[in-house]
Amino acid sequence: MTADGGHHVPRGHAIVTPGADFHDRTAVAVGDPVLQQALHNLDRRLRTAGEAADAHPDWKDRAAEIRRETLRDLDGWLDRLERALTARGVHVHRAASPAEARRVVLGIAREHGVKTVVKSKSMATEEIDLGNALEDAGIARVETDLGEYIVQLAGERPSHMITPAIHKTLPQIRDVLAREAHSDLAVDREALTAWARGRLRGEFLRADLGVTGVNFAAADTGTLVLVTNEGNGRFCTTVPRVHVAVMPIEKVIPRLADVGVLLPLLTSHATGQALSNYVTIISGPRREGETDGPEELHVVFLDNRRRTLLHTQYEEMLACIRCGACLNVCPVYRNVSGHAYDSVYSGPMGKVLTPLLSGGAEGADLPYGSSLCHACSDACPVKIPLGDMILALRADVPAAASAPRRRRRIFWSLWARAWSSPRGYRVSTRLGRASRGRVPGLRAWTATRELPRPARESFRDRWAREHG
Amino acid sequence: MIDDLVTGLRANACSVTGPITVDEARAAIVARAGGHELVACNADVPVPGIIEALGAAGVELLLPGDPAWSARLPGAAVGITGSLVASARPAAIALVAAQGSPRGTSLVPASHICVVRVADIRATLAAAMIEIAAGELPSALTWIGGPSRTGDLEMVTTLGVHGPRAVEVMLLE
Amino acid sequence: MPKVALFVTCVADQVFPDTAAATVRVLEAAGAEVVFPDEQTCCGQPALTAGEPDAAARLARHHLDVFDGGGFDAIVAPSGSCVAMVCHHYPHLLGDRRTDAERMAARTFELTQYLVDELGVDDIGARLDTTVTVHDACHGLRNLGLGTQTRRLIEATGARVLEMTEPDTCCGFGGVFSFGFPEVATRLADAKLGHAATTTARYLVTGDLACLMHLAGRRAKIGPPTAPEPVHIADLLASGLPAR
């Protein structure tokens, strides 16, 4: 996911057939019975998340306002945040691109002679493809969120921002872990969890560097807020000597107290929980006299074209709090899962972010894979008009002067010329009715559906006849 | 408010005792932790004499001042901490990292015993956060709901992933 | 007697003229005088969803010319998505004529919305003894807030509404989507038809002809014939009106 010159090809991502487009991948996903079985489990989450979300109906307005407050002066808020962090002894780095962000993190790792990195789940680190960059530099990288660990071992990308291995059934997970364990493991959640706990415990205790994302960063207090259920985020920010947090610039919030509203909304929409099991609120590295905690804390502000969204109709996309609710309710996502999007960000928010952050280089066809049902817009806890953005991107994504784009423009221009006059409409529809069945593109319909019976006369002809 | 906290914590798979007196708490902690070889105990536990009582029960204690604290902690079966505040809705307890109360005590051992004073309970997380944000912030403050858990295995909650498998809360009246 | 202009929609005009006729009957039964401005063509939605807003704007301007200033009390369409196009998109598509567009949008209604919310009529005199399950079409539901209106109209006829699981999940049509992504679209249709069949209702009612075309087309292909028959709310209500 890079728009900069040095094109870093992400390895370890889902097997995608070369030349396949979004449609092709959705077709494969729909035809995969094991994936469909795994996706069936999503229905349970939908119900619990929906119930928990209903508990705070008026908070959406407040949260929507808090998230837009920073967008009105993002640079000002980031400056405030940087000052507050620096005052707490935190090192702040600004990275315009994924390549720059990787350079910063690798630089810190080299400076400290890091051999092993433990990573907490972070979409931002996926975005900059940090995992592969660390491995290329000869540094061992261990994903510590259980779902991320599973996909790392499987050589795949996460398929959902909250539940990375949502596309895997329990037997598949067992196979992945058993291969790593070099021993037989039972297809049993307790057993698999216990094995993973033991294995990853060892990694935590010997790691030199902990890398995390950031859920929110409060500008008034210079504080980072991290949310997990497992405790891996706590380990990554407690044991290793150095902690690096990769922070997309839209994560800044005005006040620490705002998390009182934002956190329960995030967790209720993400997993149906009133609050995630752990919320870690970090205000600097360890202090004099403390027994544990990182000696050094770094935060990398990641831009990656986010500023280009400001003052456009897509600006509100930066209000996103990464709860995953839009994925959970999307009729497309629910049937194909995240890998079909072939992008770091999937679901409705991925349809919007991917083309925008890549300047149209990636995901240009994603906005078309939507039925525009707006379930996402409805579900969003911070009221991002996702459905409107997906539609608008169909017109806005710069596909240069590609032939299909030009042909499309010409077709619809001619169509509009014909259909903006009653006579043109009459003539063309008469022709259309006469040639029914021989219109190109109908095979996509008739393969699985019957066509409606042709009408003998149009309504307007009938009206004219009856009232003429 | 106490009832909301107790109900919520139990719904998160914590065991909750109290409100009880300091003496009852001391006895209860010794009963829970007494059978184990190594127990980590922070300095912020608001139960006077707890260290001596545990020692008297034959438990080896790992205290924050121990020069080999980090190396020895993984061998501790139980970690005992105090807390800063608790939120009744959603139910959660805030722990503070400071000199004498390391982060790891409530994270590494398989069991965590947490002492909460009833006077420190706030009605909501939002109210607690307003108070916390207005004061001096510690280097790390962690809200804990209960035992560590994951939904990553076919979306069914499983406990004890990285953090403690068992969380026991003692409410002091 | 309110004067209502029928906004027929190109799909009803060309493919389902009986539904358009039923819409007129239903409106008249509710006490409206219906006129048909015959210069109307299409609201322009297909072009907009294809990513060509300029082409859509051209049709929008024509639509505004036809319907604005015609002295109608209301403009009514048997389609939530076409009404959503006018109300939600026209104001910014027609930047220089925004005020006119907003004025016209304020008087544009989907059929059930007009009957129940504007005229205050639940009972148009139709009588039915049957069972019905309802698919809440997306644009009507999420853009126009529709839902209870259809159910009230059905219950006023004496028919029983049997709610399906997830009545508000998309049927999978989505315009160009059902052609570009037929596998997912078909899967969504199957889910919808399956939920409908579980209710054992006789009819599957919706307020959007696009959904209808998609669901009826799939049902015709895979059956069974005993599954609820997809039908437009106008056709259902009209079938219960006394013969003319």
Counting as low any pLDDT under 70, the low residues of chain B are none
**The pLDDT value given to residue A322:** 95
Chain C residue closest in CA terms to A373 = C138
Q: Greater confidence, C87 or A441?
A: C87
Taking the C-alpha atoms of residue C38 and residue C22, their distance in angstroms, rounded to an integer, is: 17
Q: Using alpha carbons, list the distances in angstroms from residue A381 to A63, A214, A290, A319.
A: 7, 18, 38, 10
Is the Cβ of A370 closer than 8 Å to some Cβ of chain C? yes
Q: Which of A335, A395, A463 is facing C187, going by the closest CB pair?
A: A335
pLDDT band at A273 (very low <50, low <70, confident <90, very high): confident
pLDDT at A442 over 90: no
Residue A71 C-alpha, separation from nearest chain C C-alpha, in angstroms: 23
pLDDT in tens, A23-37: 999 999 999 998 898
Instruction: State the residue for tokens 């009653």.
Output: A422
Tell me whether A395 touches chain C (CB under 8 Å).
yes
The reply to whether A253 touches chain B by the CB within 8 Å rule is: no
What residues of B are in contact with residue A285 (Cβ under 8 Å)? Answer: 139
CB contact under 8 Å between B144 and A164, yes or no, is no
Please name the residue that has the structure tokens 């890091």.
Answer: A114
Touching chains, B (3+ CB pairs < 8 A): A
Q: At what angle do helices B125-134 and A259-271 cross, to 10 degrees?
A: 140
What percent of chain A lies above the pLDDT cut of 70? 91
Q: How does pLDDT run across A140-188, given as a tens digit for each residue?
A: 999 888 888 888 889 888 888 888 888 888 899 999 999 999 988 888 8
- CA dist., res. A69 & res. A220, Å (int): 14
A186 touches chain B (CB under 8 A): no
State how far residue A460 is from chain C, nearest Cα, in angstroms: 7
Ranges A113-117, A145-149, A417-421, C51-55: which has the least confidence:
A145-149
The Cα–Cα gap between A50 and A145 comes to 24
Q: What is the pLDDT of residue A430?
A: 85
From the CA atom positions of chain A, what is the Rg in Å?
A: 25
In this complex, how many residue pairs, one in chain A and one in chain B, have their CB atoms less than 8 Å apart?
Answer: 187
Note whether C58 contacts A: Cβ–Cβ < 8 A: yes
Of A7-11, A41-45, C56-60, the range with the highest mean pLDDT is C56-60
Average pLDDT (A97-105) is 97
pLDDT confidence of residue A51: 67
Is the pLDDT assigned to residue A7 strictly greater than 50?
no
Predicted pLDDT at A68:
97
Judged by average pLDDT, the poorest of A181-185, A253-257, B13-17, C61-65 is A181-185
* C residues 71-130 closer than 8 Å to A (CB): none
Q: Which pLDDT value is given to residue C7?
A: 98
Q: With 50 as the cut, is the pLDDT of residue A2 above it? A: no
Instruction: Name C190's Cβ contacts closer than 8 Å, sequence gap at least 6.
Output: C218, C222
DSSP state of C152: H
For residue A439, pLDDT beyond 80: no
Against chain C, the chains showing at least 3 CB pairs within 8 Å are A
Average pLDDT, chain C: 95
Q: Which residue has the higher pLDDT, A337 or A436?
A: A337
DSSP B103: S
Who's near B52: CB < 8 A, 6+ residues apart? none
Q: How far is Cα A235 from Cα A229, in angstroms, rounded to an integer?
A: 12
Helices marked H in A272-421: 325-329, 333-336, 347-357, 375-379, 386-396, 403-419
Residues of A in contact with B140 (CB under 8 A): 237-238, 280-283, 293
| Interface check B125 vs A, CB under 8 A | yes
Distance, CA of A321 to CA of A262 (rounded, Å): 8
Using the predicted structure, report yes or no on whether residue C226 has a pLDDT greater than 80: yes
Q: What ipTM is given for this predicted complex?
A: 0.95
Residue A4 pLDDT class (50, 70, 90 cuts):
very low
Mark whether A and B touch (3+ CB pairs within 8 Å): yes
Nearest-angstrom CA–CA distance, C140 and C112 = 10
Asked whether the whole model's pTM tops 0.90, one would answer yes
The distance of B101 to chain A (nearest Cα, Å) reads 8
The closest of A449, A85, B74, A104 to C186, measured between CA atoms, is A449
pLDDT of residue A434: 75
- The whole-number pLDDT of residue A400 equals 44
pLDDT band for A317, please (50, 70, 90 cuts): very high
Range with lowest mean pLDDT among A316-320, A337-341, A388-392: A337-341
Q: How far apart are CA A71 and CA A67, in angstroms?
A: 7
CB pairs under 8 A between A and C: 178
Residue A426, min C-alpha distance to chain C (Å): 9
